[in-house]
């Protein structure tokens, strides 16, 4: 199974109906939690022909599509080390050129959000048509989702500052509008996901002899895994007491928790047994994080 690839959303300027070069794309630092789309029709009616006549028929005078999204930008961590759309862990790209990073740590976050206002809000940077400034269209792209429109609203909230008063985090609320109905999709295929297996634990009988394997260990053995790897099974199934009587089948993960943690750049997750009070449980044998 191939490794999971995270697709990052982006804002793409549209110049004369075509996408701008990749160097002008604006990356979304954190993919949004949700997207909101509204479709509306403006109704109009023909003039009535006189008193006592039937109501004039209505028709659609104009359609409008509206897209809203909230984006977060943060400079408490350094910019990407490799490529504009690969947020890295180091502030120095391969080769040692710091200038290739999008930003250094603890710098003004408005240096990142300014790219959005410069491209789509500043009248001085807008293309001209018949002597008038025309707003540059913005195309939001994320995987199979795409929306093209003009930025009608931009709202920025600065909510985290350094001791020196430097804004380090910004929440940007964007609204794009298009005077027509639009529904477009890009080609994107979901990768295969790891699925759960189910194995039967030691559900027979009313009591478990001390020498008998515990339910998570029995489920691991039934799934062809090492019975010693019972902790991840117990955690996945919400079992605090490893020797609890389990009559139902238990879910067995197909991937170790350490590998899951390494995919997101977090340290491996560890467990220990016997300190359940730290989780607010009084059941002996519960887990605690280490």
Confirm whether pTM is higher than 0.75: no
> Which of 143, 142, 169, 118 is closest to 69 using CA atoms?
142
Return the number of other C-beta atoms located less than 10 Å from residue 237's C-beta.
18
User: What pLDDT does 170 receive?
Assistant: 96
> Which of 269, 289, 265, 268 is closest to 277 using CA atoms?
289
Are 75 and 168 in contact by the 8 Å Cβ rule? The answer is: yes
Within 8 A by CB and 6+ apart from 214, the residues are 202, 208, 230, 242, 243
How does pLDDT run across 2-42, given as a tens digit for each residue? 556 788 899 999 988 889 998 889 989 999 999 999 998 88
Quote the CA–CA distance of 81 and 268 in Å, as a whole number.
23
> Which of 167, 159, 149 is closest to 75 using CA atoms?
167
DSSP 99-159: GGSS--TT--THHHHHHHHHHHT-GGGS-EETTEE-PPEEEEEETTEEEEEEEEEEEEEEE
CA 174 and chain centroid, separation: 16
User: What pLDDT does 186 receive?
Assistant: 72
Residue indicated by tokens 């189910």: 198
User: What pLDDT does 154 receive?
Assistant: 96
Quote the CA–CA distance of 221 and 113 in Å, as a whole number.
53
> Which of 26, 35, 39 is closest to 173 using CA atoms?
35
Distances from the Cα of 88 to the Cα of 93, 180, 266, angstroms: 9, 39, 13
User: What pLDDT does 226 receive?
Assistant: 80
Quote the CA–CA distance of 141 and 138 in Å, as a whole number.
10
CA 144 and chain centroid, separation: 14
Strand pairing of 287-289 and 271-273? antiparallel
Strand pairing of 132-133 and 128-129? antiparallel
Residues of the chain under the 70 pLDDT cut: 1-4, 47-56, 80-101, 128-131, 188, 191-196, 200-214, 242, 244-248, 254-290
User: What pLDDT does 264 receive?
Assistant: 43
How does pLDDT run across 99-138, given as a tens digit for each residue? 456 788 899 999 999 999 999 988 777 776 666 777 789 9
């Amino acid at each position: 199974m191939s490794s999971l690839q995270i697709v990052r959303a982006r804002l793409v300027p549209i110049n004369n109906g075509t996408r701008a070069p990749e160097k002008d794309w604006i990356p979304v630092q954190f993919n949004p939690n949700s997207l909101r789309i509204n479709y509306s029709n403006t109704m109009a009616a023909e003039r009535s022909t006189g008193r006592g006549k039937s109501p004039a028929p209505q028709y659609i005078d104009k359609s409008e599509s509206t897209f809203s999204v909230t984006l977060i930008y943060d400079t408490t961590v350094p910019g990407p080390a490799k490529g504009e759309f690969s947020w890295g862990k180091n502030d120095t790209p391969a080769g040692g050129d710091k200038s290739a990073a999008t930003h250094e740590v603890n710098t003004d976050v408005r240096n990142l959000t300014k790219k959005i206002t410069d491209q789509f809000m500043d009248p001085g940077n807008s293309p001209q048509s018949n002597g008038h400034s025309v707003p540059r269209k913005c195309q939001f792209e994320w995987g199979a989702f795409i929306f093209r429109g003009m930025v009608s609203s931009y709202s920025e909230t600065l909510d985290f500052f350094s001791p020196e008063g430097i804004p380090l985090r910004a929440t940007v609320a964007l609204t794009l509008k298009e005077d027509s109905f639009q529904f477009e999709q890009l080609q994107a295929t979901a990768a295969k996901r790891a699925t759960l297996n189910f194995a039967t634990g030691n559900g027979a009988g009313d009591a478990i002899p001390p020498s008998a394997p515990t339910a998570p260990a029995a489920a691991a053995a039934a799934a062809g895994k090492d019975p010693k790897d019972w902790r991840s099974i117990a955690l996945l199934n919400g079992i605090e007491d490893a020797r609890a009587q389990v009559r139902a089948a238990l879910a067995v993960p197909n991937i170790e928790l350490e590998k899951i943690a390494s995919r997101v750049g977090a340290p491996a997750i560890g467990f220990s047994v016997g300190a359940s009070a730290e989780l607010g449980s009084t059941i002996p044998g519960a887990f605690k994080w280490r």
